[in-house]
Amino acid sequence: MAELLKVEGLKSGYGQAVVVQGIDFVLPQGESLALLGRNGTGKTTLLNTLIGATKRHAGRITLAGQDITALPPHKRAEAGIGWVPQERNIFKSLTVEENLSAVARPGPWTVKRAYEMFPRLAERKANMGNQLSGGEQQMLAVARALVLNPKLLLLDEPLEGLAPIIVEELLRSIERVVRDEGMSAIIVEQNPRMILPITQRAVVLDRGAVVLEASSASLLADPAQLETWLAVARAA
């Protein structure tokens, strides 16, 4: 399978503080990756580095054969990176429809298709961003990233703080995108048992470094590895 993302010797952080410590991994086209680790292990910093929002101290990032290491964030978005941050970053003073149409780029993911994926958004397309619930805002954040028609989708804890019924709905939508539609994605999630079933591969970070890289299926089948690196109880 063709290589989509290649990260080589990546060191990055904020100012002079180095958080990500020499990371190497490859993500093939059409595959999704679960990025796991305890709080404070560098997961969000790694995503922020991929979008160009940290200080890079060393290393190289290649997307679909293009070296994007020196590109600013907006150029990385143009190159094909879609990002759903923890903060969601929707335009709260714009309607749902305006949030989507303002960023939409040509490709298979249209505003209409986003509404088909998230019927709640279609029902609220005239509502302002600040009139949506937390779960609806998260759906809008994912839909905004999709209508950019990215090559790679980055999701930073997309299920955090949501009601269980919304978690189930959003998880089904993410599963459809990354498994049925074949969208390449890197997904950060605190609960590995939610995200491992819908990803092909997993990387575990500890102290900013990769300590384990394995197939998602093998991690699900071996709870001891999850317990070792993530303090996940065997019965969880």
pLDDT in tens, 98-153: 999 999 999 999 999 999 999 999 999 999 999 999 999 999 999 999 999 999 99
Torsion sign (Cα): 214, 53, 209, 6: positive
202: domain range?
Answer: 1-80+152-157+182-236
Looking up residue 20, the CATH number of its domain turns out to be: 3.40.50.300
Residue 208 belongs to a domain: yes
Residue 122 lies in a domain: no
Is residue 1 pLDDT above 80, yes or no? Answer: no
Is residue 34 packed enough to be buried (19+ CB in 10 Å), middle (13-18) or exposed (0-12)?
buried
Model pTM score: 0.93
The answer on pLDDT for 179 being more than 90 is no
Residue 99 lies in a domain: no
Examine residue 170 and state whether it is found in any structural domain, yes or no: no
Band the pLDDT of 235: cuts 50, 70, 90: very low
224 or 207, which is more confident: 207
Q: Name the 3-class secondary structure at 19.
A: strand
Q: Is residue 236 part of a domain?
A: yes
Q: Is residue 7 part of a domain?
A: yes
Burial classification of residue 152, based on how many CB atoms lie within 10 Å of its CB (0-12 exposed, 13-18 middle, 19 or more buried): buried
Please choose, from the candidates 124, 58, 59, the residue with its C-alpha nearest in 3D space to the C-alpha of residue 97. Answer: 124
Residue 192: inside a domain, yes or no? yes
The answer on pLDDT for 10 being more than 90 is yes
Determine the average pLDDT of the residues in 37-62: 95
So what's the pLDDT on residue 234?
41
Half-sphere exposure for 172 (CA within 13 Å, toward CB): 8
Query: What average pLDDT score do residues 35-56 get?
Result: 94
pLDDT tens digits for range 91-111:
999 999 999 999 999 999 999
**What six digits make up the tokens of 20?**
């990500």
State how many domains the chain has.
Answer: 1
d(CA 30, CA 50) in angstroms, rounded, equals 18
